């Protein structure tokens, strides 16, 4: 399940941190597992709120992606997108480009082939979870 809208962040119709935090926490308790935090939703403020409020159990995954990216001299986004075609369970990555360089970086991911060792580094940091309500 996902959740995304313009009700958080730094704009006139947004919730502040104190108002947004219980909404995020309740959403997690109800099984929301994906957050759409497009730049248009608060120019980065939504991401900051999500980062402060949600549990950080994905940090090992981000650390692994950062390490592979640093070893390759590419962005973490490129590494993450290069992983997608090898995994049939992921049908459509979401690329939110508001400037040309992220779009070019996403396209360049098509030419990046991860080694078996790199894939193991990325996937080894992941703890499988059953989505709430999944049958």
The token pair at 6 is 């313009």
The closest of 26, 59, 22, 53 to 37, measured between CA atoms, is 53
The pLDDT of residue 85 is 84
pLDDT value for 113: 95
Domain that holds residue 44: 2-53
Same-domain status, 14 and 45? yes
Does the residue 33 lie in any domain? yes
Residue 101 lies in a domain: yes
Whether residue 44 is found in the same domain as residue 78: no
Assess contact for 87 and 37: CB atoms under 8 A. no
pLDDT along the chain (135 residues), means of 10: 48 67 81 68 65 73 92 92 83 73 86 95 81 54
Asked whether the beta carbons of 55 and 23 are under 8 A apart, the reply is no
How confident is the model at residue 112, as a pLDDT?
95
User: Domain tally for the chain?
Assistant: 2
pLDDT at 3: 47
CB atoms closer than 10 angstroms to residue 42: 19
133: in domain: no
């Amino acid at each position: 399940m996902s959740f995304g809208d313009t009700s958080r962040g730094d704009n006139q119709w947004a919730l502040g941190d104190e108002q947004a935090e219980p909404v995020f926490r309740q959403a997690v308790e109800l099984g929301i597992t994906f957050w759409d935090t497009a730049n248009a939703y608060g120019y980065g403020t939504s991401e900051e709120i999500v980062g402060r409020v949600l549990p950080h159990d994905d940090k090992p995954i981000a650390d692994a992606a950062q390490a592979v990216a640093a070893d390759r001299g590419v962005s973490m986004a490129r590494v993450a997108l290069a992983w997608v075609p090898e995994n049939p369970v992921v049908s459509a990555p979401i690329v939110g480009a508001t400037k040309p360089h992220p779009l070019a970086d996403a396209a360049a991911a098509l030419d990046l082939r991860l080694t078996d060792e790199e894939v193991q580094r990325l996937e080894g940091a992941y703890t499988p979870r059953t989505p709430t309500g999944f049958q």
